[in-house]
Chain A
């Protein structure tokens, strides 16, 4: 009997898959060849290990089983508490969706600047807002200051929820021939400009890098370029 044949016989007996004749054959073999007892014990040890490890291996490779919905919030809270909440990808994905709905959903705080139509009728009305869904955080005040500095005559509106911002975004000033809405979304790190005029609304998004003031100047430049003012 060669090694492989002995292995097969031993494994069948250990795994309770052997016939009576095979069990008897193994007993006789071990009785006549004591040196094979060690080999048999090794196979038995390996089999014991396999029975312990294989279920874990199957678990690692498994793709069945549905994640319970009730666990989701608990686990996402754990993620936020443990790893912080830097601009989630979901916010950016959600933003695309909002654009598709006519810029209906925003993120953080809004600043609105309205230039008096009576004194300067040819100037576009500029409304500015900031959306900050994270609530009051460090740096918010300086962001507001930057917005106020860029549009000195504007009221700065702030929103902490997307819904009211959406309403504000779609509510254009009555009687205005040309108007612009500037929305600074802190969570997404974006400044969005929407221009309303005789034609279709025009929109552009500016990513905020290290310097918010520089981005706001770019937004102003875009408005001037589009309105000729």
Chain B
């Protein structure tokens, strides 16, 4: 692998920003979840107490207060974790967990399209750097999901050599498909996927309808 220069880094950051923008609705959804629950619990306390002051000795009030505390902690953790999309904390993650997370993050791209993603149990392999790996895997999924036909299935499998492969298969007759708003097409081009992969020492290839993502070599993984 060649040492990335400054312009490679700038280009990679641009692609990452485009990838992050596409995953943002789901990240926002997850960040809002504990806050929404806390607001619900606070509303409940207000409703149960009516116009009288909160009875702190009431068991249900105590439980709701405790729930609010837990939810706010959860909310703080979720917001803090968002920082890991911008700063590499050096965390590593298994390929299986990385693929699962990225599949969840493209959820909004599947809505009303009849498209499905199936993860085979064979997706395994060594731990990889979370920061780069997440952007690379997400870029590939976004490209594939946006370009695959409505109603089709994306099958992601692990290969014995540690690579991840993705193939597109005809759908099984999903009926809930609505026309997109005309902004269709891939938000992330395949060349952008390859550029980003290369920047982090991965290798993205397409041959005869099979998309493969080769992980960084062991030495590159240590350096990453």
Whether chain B is bound by chain A comes out as: no
Residue numbers of B with Cβ under 8 A of A are none
